[in-house]
Structure 1
């Protein structure tokens, strides 16, 4: 019997510095997207953030509320490649997850956590990907 299990990585990247904030969440939906917005807003209270969002359904929900220090900027339809963090996902898939099979969802999440942490502490690498 084939069973599918899912976990999801959310991330926001500062294209000027390469700093990246990420969360591992159980779903892709408005509630989880709101958690990312709130987390980024709280981590960077002294910053004025413009969060670029592509046309994913959980990005376009009228229920999303930007934190006080954040403005949401929607990209045109069918242009997700204009979202800087999409280039980070491409890098992760190629370098960290290409042709990998995991014994369990926990093993995948452990690997994902290490990969995210490695990029969070390597701002120059992220900057080179998104700049």
Structure 2
């Protein structure tokens, strides 16, 4: 009798979407660590240097790490525990899963390639339609008036 270990391969998709426009930034990474999240934040901050930006994030330990340096033009808002419905990005991840459903991939690399194709193929209007929750749009409109 031998020992059997279940092993799996994975990757992570980091993403930020502006609900009012659908403008976005996605980054695929081999792991979820504070260092990788830091790199994502830096890329995001550099892309949006002229604005102050609020990112809604879950309560992953990587989002709370003491060594994390939040860029000056970014604020993190932590969603309540067990409440993914308040984070509009959850609808994006669901749409991504729908685009991958009922497909078999030869390798993790083939799956990752398809994920990147889907993300790059999405129009800003489609992402806006997924993330422009009425309460978010009302808050943004109140801020701009």
> Normalising to structure 1: TM-score of the pair?
0.90
Looking at structure 1, the residues matched to 60 and 103 of structure 2 have their Cα atoms a distance apart, in angstroms, of: 26
1:3 CA displacement: 4.1
How far did residue 33 of structure 1 move?
1.1
Give 1:80 deviation, angstroms: 2.2
The answer on 1:102 being equivalent to 2:101 is: no
SS of residue in 2 equivalent to 1:103: coil
Contact 1:55 1:78 in 2 (8 A): no
Equivalent residue number for residue 44 of structure 2:
40
- Say which of 78, 89, 93 aligns to 1:89: 93
> How large is the Cα RMSD of the aligned pairs?
1.5
Distance in 2 between residues matched to 1:84 and 1:103, nearest whole Å = 31
CA displacement at 1:57 relative to structure 2: 2.1
Choose from 24, 47, 52 the match for 2:28: 24
**TM-score if structure 2 supplies the norm length?**
0.82
1:9–1:24 Cα contact (<8 Å) kept: yes
Task: Number of aligned residue pairs: give it.
Answer: 128
Counterparts of 2:14 and 2:52, CA distance in 1:
20
4+ residue runs over 6 A deviation? none
Q: Larger radius of gyration, structure 1 or 2?
A: 2
- Structure 2 unaligned blocks of 5 or more: 133-145
The equivalent of 2:125 in structure 1 is 124
2 CA distance for matches of 1:48 and 1:84? 19
Which ranges in structure 1 are unaligned for 5 or more consecutive residues? none
- State whether residues 96 and 115 of structure 2, in contact with CA within 8 Å, keep that contact through their aligned partners in structure 1: no
